[in-house]
Amino acid sequence: MTNPPLYEGKAKKLYATSNPSQLLLSYKDEATAFNGAKKETIAGKGELNNRISNLVMQELHKHHINTHLIQELNHTDSLVKKLKMFPLEVIVRNISAGSLVKKLGVSEGKVFDSPILEFCYKNDDLGDPMINTYHIIALNLATQEEIESISALALQINEILRPYFAKLQIQLVDFKLEFGIDDEGKICLGDEISPDTCRFWEMQTKEKLDKDRFREDLGNLTESYRVVLEKILSKGQ
């Protein structure tokens, strides 16, 4: 890419294309955690996330979920619909892990009877604080109707992906989604669904196959992401 990106985030760059309603999403090899405090370049990570996210979004297309993915362009880059993003991180949890364990004192690995849905305000300066629907409406981040649609979509995506990964002998512990509005005015899933944004545990061994390998200095990050990709390629199509 010769033109400067429209936006460079921690894990991806967004470039304009000749079509004003489309963007090129380019995955970087950067790994960050703890709101950017821990940072490292991990060769090959961008390529793995691009491929995994696209395969997962293609699976969602089969279930008529509207995602931004148009086409994978090469190993690290994809063409996507340009969205007007809600400044929200939508988190779905099936099993306790991460911040929930720290915040609520639940032990790691508790399987919930029903999924937990959380919203965070996407704002790095504030450390992406958790907010509720009253905050979202009062701060004009989304309307009541939009929150209801986003919540229903997030739970529907969980109902599709939990059994999809279970078939691959992977537990979908929790994950983060981001939504936006497309140029037809419809709510659309954006960003990525990858081991950077999901917790994946190998079903039998409970081995972590996601960014916790980086957060917790467990090593073998790309090897673990490759296990996820290989499982999807071998059985998830």
CA dist 190 and 67 (Å) reads 6
Nearer to ligand UDP, 58 or 99 (CB): 99
Query: What is the closest distance, in whole angstroms, from the C-beta atom of residue 85 to ligand ADP in the complex?
Result: 4
CA dist 142 and 144 (Å) reads 7
Does the protein bind ligand UDP through residue 188 (CB under 6 A)? no
Residues numbered 8 to 27 that lie near ligand ADP (CB under 6 A) are 9-12, 14, 23
Phi, psi of 155 (to 5 degrees): -70, -35
91's contact among ligand UDP, ligand ADP, none, with CB below 5 to 8 A by partner kind, is ligand UDP
Query: What is the closest distance, in whole angstroms, from the C-beta atom of residue 29 to ligand ADP in the complex?
Result: 12
Question: For residue 189, which of 54, 94, 83 has the smallest C-alpha distance?
Answer: 83
Does the protein bind ligand ADP through residue 181 (CB under 6 A)? no
Three-class SS state of 83: coil
CA dist 91 and 128 (Å) reads 12
Per-residue contact track with ligand UDP, 39 to 58, x per CB under 6 A?
Answer: --------------------
The only residue of 176, 208, 226, 231 in contact with ligand UDP, by rule CB under 6 A? 176
H or E stretch including 11? none
DSSP 72: E
Extended beta strands in the chain, E state = 7-8, 12-16, 22-27, 30-33, 38-41, 69-72, 77-81, 84-85, 88-95, 111-121, 130-131, 170-177, 179-181, 187-189, 198-202
Q: Which residues on neighbouring strands pair with residue 177, listed in sequence order?
A: 90
Three-class SS state of 93: strand
112's contact among ligand UDP, ligand ADP, none, with CB below 5 to 8 A by partner kind, is none
46 token code pair: 């961008």
Does the protein bind ligand ADP through residue 33 (CB under 6 A)? no
Nearer to ligand ADP, 86 or 201 (CB): 86
Per-residue contact track with ligand ADP, 65 to 104, x per CB under 6 A?
Answer: ---x-----------xxxx-x-------------------
Query: Is residue 33 packed enough to be buried (19+ CB in 10 Å), middle (13-18) or exposed (0-12)?
Result: middle
Residues numbered 212 to 231 that lie near ligand UDP (CB under 6 A) are none
Does the protein bind ligand ADP through residue 117 (CB under 6 A)? no
Name the closest residue to ligand ADP (Cβ).
9
CA dist 183 and 185 (Å) reads 5
**Residues contributing to the site for ligand ADP (CB under 6 A):** 7, 9-12, 14, 23, 68, 80-83, 85, 178, 180, 190-191
**Residues contributing to the site for ligand UDP (CB under 6 A):** 89, 91, 98-100, 128, 174-176, 197-199, 211
